[in-house]
Structure 1
Amino acid sequence: MTSNKTLRTDRRTYTKSLAAIGLGAAVAAAGGSYYYYSSKRRGEAAETEKPSTLRVRAWGGGWAEGLKEGVIQPFTEKYGIKVELDYTEDNVLQAKLREIIPAGGEPPVDVNWTTTTNAMREALWGFSSPIMEEDLTHLDELHEAAYPERIEGIEGLPYINVYSYTYSLAYDTEKVPEKPESWRILWEPEYRRSVAMYDDGIGFFAVLAKLSGAKIPDDMEPAWKLLRELKPNIAFVGEDPDLTQGFVERQVALECTIPTNALEARRAGAPVAWTVPEEGVTMENDAMYVPRNLPRNRDYWAKKFIDMAISPEGQSKWCEYLGCPPVNRNAEIPDYMRGDPAFPTSKEDYDKMLIIPYKILVEHEKDWFAKFEEIMG
């Protein structure tokens, strides 16, 4: 099995956040409304002629291997439809869809597996074929985190969030012998040049807003002021491999990172743990959707593929391979995830997550990335 470090490195550039504040401001601004379906169905969608293959956009490396093992193999065994993976980068495919779909052309993929921020952006452009309750058989088994925010004028679901991951507070247990209770430990003078995080600030904006009282998205200045005060304690900013090595080489004491990186450092012999501080942590998702303008039979079977991806069977194997918490309540939870809110799998865990609606992220996050880089530059 490919290591989780390899998994995350293969697509780190494209995981841009499902942030969160817990202050209520952003949620209120977006209406806080989500799609919920009753368990009463109108009947199953009528089966159509099977295509010989489906085309699914994917990340490469371990991400593709996990999809093959957990979803593609059981899908092909059940329906006899082969699946071809398209490794076009998220943003390159997005540019193609902007040309093809408005012109009425057929998209190059049947299923787009992408970040939820991209899925929301493309849904707002009207690129997704709505998923109705009769299209999927596992909707009633999903955690709330699987459901997208409501988009005015769209019936059904524009996409499905297929798993979660968090940006937690990881720490060197020899340099920080007691588990930190608050993110405020990052600002303590004793940790000068001992803190690391992502080079665009991903996963940290919600924390800054929570600590500073910033109002997302209208007044972020308190967050930027707090970030400037943190700068003397920053040892480096980087990508996933850098954050793992930061612990392995004992360069840092504290990081804002995904637990996978801390786990990789621990496997390499570093004394590392992670926690969800009292303020909470940012949680993100990746998503799947079916693009518009497909022939009817391809649209139908593409949604069947997504149904397999959110099934207990698919989620159990796929999410364990990726090291990401599943969104199906009936999926098997790996032992190392149980009881750890850094791997949210229950309502109690989700209550500790900080969430900025994706519609706000679509509009503002690129500016936040630029501001973070300006301050840290």
Structure 2
Amino acid sequence: MQFGIFTVGDVTADPVTGRTPTEAERIKAMVAIGEKAEEVGLDVFATGEHHNPPFVPSSPTTMLGYLAARTERLVLSTATTLITTNDPVKIAEDFAMLQHLSDGRTDLMLGRGNTGPVYPWFGKDIRDGLALAIENYHLLRRLWRERRVDWQGEFRTPLQGFTSTPAPLDATPPFVWHGSIRSPEIAEQAAYYGDGFFHNNIFWNKEHTEQMVRLYRQRYEHYGHGGADQAIVGLGGQVFMAETEAAAKKFFRPYFDNAPVYGHGPSLEEFSDLTPLTVGTPEQVIERTLGFADYAGDYQRQLFLMDHAGLPLNVVLEQIEILGHEVIPILRTEFENRRPAHVPSDPPTHPSLVAAGPDAPHHLVDPARDRLAAETDGARA
């Protein structure tokens, strides 16, 4: 099972000291967090994509390319690449380039994003969000799998004999996750292609998470990719740890109370009861995280949010030390002890995808009009 860190890259004032980091400081802090993740034995570092304050990661592949040169083992990913407002041609080029620079240590998570104004900023209409996600991904798949692409769609200019460069490393596209917290259509899309489904459940109760993951698993099996329990699932989480629960809550409470997303709302205790947020001891984090599989099934990737809400960098790095040395080794053992032999322990990686060969489902694409896109267009008509 893969464990890692994801960051949303918010620039938030420290509610204790009142100091706000500069954008340069925040960007360099994200790099330091990625380096620390590798140092303590984590598997994945993922960055979000945002184009509005108070967030800074507007160019994820730039940051991940820099991290590729400073790490050796870490899988470099995103914790959302905006498939709706980015041009699929540019996504194809950027991530193929990152594949080459990282020697294949690259995958990505596609999503619609959660900032409505981003659509008109990039010339799109939010009412087309789902249709954009479906059409743009179909084109992206073809760009990574065909040397010459002829394309006619609804949302971009046509392509005639277009070749995306560079081609994917070893003629093998990066593995794709589809991230969604509320859209069954995205779970359906992930299942249709046999891709991964990531439910970033940090804001949701377990009943909602269970429902979304179950839908994806059922449809994954329906499309013939394997059993429902073999579908590739990732989950989010958020933790803060100390030697005692009381100490953890005392330190973290002002950061929670003033967080840019959920601050000034439910109390820390109410939010912890409702969502996977765990503020307590490493043992409590282990117990809570192991419980995710009770309602989501055996899954392949667990990412934690550690640097949100103005937490100082030195504190975040200490938290990652605790996570890597005291929490993850036990989680690895316990999750694998409960996993049936026929269920994948890890998501696909570049070496495993290359080994599967060019006839594997991951490589194949239907050059005719995509059935899922056709069904969706019909429903919109």
Question: What TM-score comes out, normalization by structure 2 length?
Answer: 0.29
The answer to which structure, 1 or 2, has the higher relative contact order (CA under 8 A, 6+ apart) is 1
* Greater helix content: 2
